[in-house]
Structures are given as structure tokens and as C-alpha cells.
Amino acid sequence: MATVSGTRTAVVPAPRRIGRRSVAAWVLYDLANTSFSLGVVTLYFPKLVEHVFGYPKGEVDGAVGMLASVAAAIVFILAPVLGAISDQAARRLPFLAISTVLCITATFFLAQATGGVSFVLFVVAVICFQAGLIFYDSLLPEVSTDANRGRIGGIGVGVGYIGSMLAYAIGTVLLPDEGTPTLDDYTAVFRGIAIGFLVFAIPAFVFVRERPRVAPPLSWRVAPLAFSQLAQTARQARRYRGLLPFLVGRMFYADAANTLIVMVVLYATGALAMSDADARMVAIISIVAAIPAGIAWGQVVDRVGPKRTLDVVLMGWMVIFALVAAIPVGLPTWLIYPAGAAVGVALAGLWASDRPLMARLAPPRYYGQFFGLYSMVGRFGAIVGPAMWAIIVDPGWLGWGQPAAVMFLLLWMVIAFLILRRVDDRPREWGPDDLPVLAVEAAEPA
């Protein structure tokens, strides 16, 4: 059905059959990019900094945290602009392909003899990875309906953590069991992760069927126009019930979760004095727990709604942070293993619930712009989190230690929970100006 408003025609998307290949290809991309997130950001790049570039354990937190903050700051600036550009194009998939290939290329060449070059490539890879998520997340409505969005998103989260298993397996095979890994060892690991990312990302570029939108040909004028629309997009957020407090709350909980992802291995080897092998075991327990949890959380989202699910998940995070902070100051060290499993369950719940909630709150015509803001507020948190972790932990700054940094993350979760109390996830009634302008849609094969 079409509704005319001025000279624009807003098309209410008719019920449609979404092919299984589209869904499977979208889910596989989650596997691909999660292998980068855990393999590069969490596991192996911090160890490259320590083992190859010779940073002491206490300074690795500061170096990796500051690099992650630089990347997050750049994405913070670019995210809403990239989203606006993708809204003005006929399709988002080409932008996803470009950002993915750039991330894979930077990852492939990541381990260099010169630390400065590796640091720059790490920042570039993280920027392109996060840019790709803007386009990928905004494609969720193309492979799901409002009735099954939680389930599809949850399957993506669960299968995505298989990508973490892949990254872990690559490191297990290519890094030596004894002795300190060399530059060549890390070169092989990063190249293996890059190739795996490419293999599992390709199906999304080929099989995801995105409904084309009516759009003029792209030109260089799109970028400055997108910048000019940024303030308008931020103002628009106030028009939509619950959207602004959700974005503000996400800034805090994404900060805490993303900081933990970056720092968890360093916490295990630092505050808990675990070996690298034991720290990786904590990570693998977390991953194994997250795989079925993502699928289960998706079912919960469809049954009780994304907002109530997110509330439960945030309360779980508060308990986890309190437990993890208490282990090095009196509790048995073995508790880090069940805590690791709980982290996996909570991470899966966070990503399984907040994407569908964003899709519920944002107007369909402007998914790109608002998913850009969604990424932007997450990146703002990622600027603050790793930087504050570095300031709290580094002896050259406050030097309070890693447990104090975890308590800082707990505070962030509490703030997020309180802000999100103002958000509800009741279905929205969209007007003509909020609906997409779709081109004639070809039938999609099953």
C-alpha cells in the first residue's frame, strides 16, 4: 500500500516471505565479524603488544585501551554520517562490503615489526569493523519481521559466538604451546582470522536480499549533505517515544560491555595472576555459554519483548561485575570460571535484545541514520571506558588496580538501568513520513 505525502510516496511494506538463504547469510556475517572482535581485539592484539613490542603487563592495559578509545572516537564522528549516507543510497549492502574488505585487509597485515604501524592498522581495522556494524545491524529488518526479529537476531548472536570459537581455534593451532610467541606466529594468526572473516562474510554480499529504495545516484555531495543532516537526526530522536533515553542508556551499558571485551584477558592475567592458557580458557567458557544463550535470549525477546529482556540482562550484569571485582580481594579464584560463563550469557542477552529494541523504536525510513546514532553512542562509551580503565589501572595515573576499574563498569551498568526505566517497547504506529520509499520489489526465492 502507498501513502502520498507531498511529492514523496511512502510505502508500507507488505507482508513478504523472507528466503532462508537471506537469513542464513545474514547470520553467517555475525559469525564472521565476531571472530574479529574476540580474536583481534580481545585475545591476540593485546598479547602482540606484550610479547612482541615488549610492553610490561601493567602498561598493556593503557596502550590497548587508548588505541581502542582513538578508534571509538573516530567512529563516534563517522557513525551517524555513514548511516545517513546509507539511507540516501538504494542499498546498504555495498557499504557493508567496502567496510568489511577494508577491515579484513588491515587485519591481514596487522602484525608488523614496527609497533607504530601495527597500532595504526589496529585502529583502522577497528574503525572499519564498527562502520560495518552500522550497515549490518540496519539490515536486520530486511531478514526478519516484527514477530520473529528477536529469534533471528538471537540466532545471529548465538552463531556469531561460533566465530569466537573459530578465532580461538586459529590461535590454538598457530601459537606455540610453550615459550613466547614471535612476530611470525602472530602474523599467521591475524592472517588466519582475516581469511576466516572473508569466507564467512561473502554469503551476505551474495544472498541477503535487500529491498531497494528509491534514491538518486550517489555523488560526492552525499557526504556534506549527510553532515548537514546530523543535527536534524539528533533533533528527530526526540520525536520518537523512548528513543532518546534508550540511546543515552545504551551509551553507558555498551561502554561497560565493550570495555570488558577489550580488557577481560588482561584482567585474568593481571588481577588474578592466571596464565595466558588459563585466561584463554575463561574466554572459551564464555564463548561456549554464549552460543546457546544467544538463541535462547532471542526466543525470550519475541515472547516478553526486547525491553523487559534487556532489563533482566542489565541486572545480571550488575551481579557479574560485583563478583568479578570481588574475586581478587577475597573470593576463590576458581569463581572466575562460572563468572566467565555468566559473562557469555549476559553478552548474548545484551546483543540479542538491544538490536530488536532499536528496530522497534526507530522509524523505518531512517534506519540507517538512527542505527548510526545507535553505533555513535556505543562508540562514545567505548571512548570513555577503555580510557578510564587505563587511567584507573595505570601506575602512571591513578594506579588503583583492575578491580577498581571493574567497579567503575558496574557503576555504568547501574546508570544505564536507571535511564532505561523511561523506555517502553510497545509497537509504534508510523506515519507516512516515517515509512521507507521502496522501489518495485522482485520476488525473493526461498
Determine the pLDDT at residue 78: 82
Specify if 143 maps to a domain: yes
| 129, 78 Cβ separation under 8 angstroms | no
Q: Please indicate whether residue 347 or residue 5 has the higher confidence score (pLDDT).
A: 347
Exposure on the CB side of residue 305, measured as CA atoms within 13 A: 10
Specify if 435 maps to a domain: no
Among 121-135, 154-168, 375-389, which is the least confidently predicted range? 375-389
Burial (CB count <10 Å: 0-12, 13-18, 19+), residue 326: middle
Q: Which residues pair with 9 in a beta bridge?
A: 4
Q: Express each pLDDT in 218-245 by its tens digit.
A: 555 666 666 666 666 667 777 788 898 9
Task: Give the whole-angstrom CA distance, residue 278 versus residue 269.
Answer: 8
Res. 213 pLDDT band, cuts 50 70 90: low
Q: Which residues pair with 4 in a beta bridge?
A: 9
Mean predicted confidence (pLDDT) in 17-30? 90
Size of the chain, expressed as the number of residues it contains: 446
| 307, 425 Cβ separation under 8 angstroms | yes
Element (H, E) at 312: helix 306-326
Per-position DSSP letters for 57-76, written without gaps between them:
HHHHHHHHHHHHHHHHHHHH
Determine the pLDDT at residue 381: 66
Using a CB cutoff of 8 Å and minimum separation of 24, what contacts does 395-399 make? 395/58, 396/62, 397/62
Specify if 295 maps to a domain: yes
Q: Express each pLDDT in 287-332 by its tens digit.
A: 889 899 999 999 999 999 999 999 999 999 999 999 999 998 888 9
Specify if 9 maps to a domain: no
Specify if 431 maps to a domain: no
Task: Give the whole-angstrom CA distance, residue 126 versus residue 281.
Answer: 24
Mean predicted confidence (pLDDT) in 39-45? 87
Q: Which amino acid is at 127?
A: I
Report the chain's terminal Cα–Cα distance, integer Å.
23
Mean predicted confidence (pLDDT) in 2-29? 64
Number of domains in the chain: 1
Res. 432 pLDDT band, cuts 50 70 90: confident
Task: Give the whole-angstrom CA distance, residue 252 versus residue 378.
Answer: 8
- Angle at Cα 141 formed by Cα 162 and Cα 432, nearest 5°? 165
Phi first, then psi: give them for residue 172, nearest 5 degrees: -60, -40
3-state SS class at 183: helix
In 89-139, alpha helices (H) = 93-108, 115-137
In the predicted structure, residue 61 carries a pLDDT above the cut 60: yes
Q: Which residues pair with 213 in a beta bridge?
A: 438
What is the DSSP secondary structure assignment for residue 213, as one 8-state letter?
A: B
Expressed as residue numbers, the domain containing 253 is 16-208+224-425
| 222, 86 Cβ separation under 8 angstroms | no
In the predicted structure, residue 443 carries a pLDDT above the cut 60: no
Q: Express each pLDDT in 190-204 by its tens digit.
A: 999 999 999 999 999
Determine the pLDDT at residue 238: 75
Specify if 257 maps to a domain: yes
Provide the CATH number for the domain around residue 324: 1.20.1250.20
| 135, 99 Cβ separation under 8 angstroms | yes
Determine the pLDDT at residue 440: 46
User: Whole-prediction pTM value?
Assistant: 0.76
Q: Which amino acid is at 285?
A: I
| 133, 85 Cβ separation under 8 angstroms | no
Q: Please indicate whether residue 343 or residue 262 has the higher confidence score (pLDDT).
A: 343
Q: Average pLDDT of the chain?
A: 84
Specify if 190 maps to a domain: yes
| 58, 393 Cβ separation under 8 angstroms | yes
Task: Give the whole-angstrom CA distance, residue 288 versus residue 283.
Answer: 9
Q: Please indicate whether residue 414 or residue 441 has the higher confidence score (pLDDT).
A: 414
Specify if 446 maps to a domain: no
Determine the pLDDT at residue 221: 61
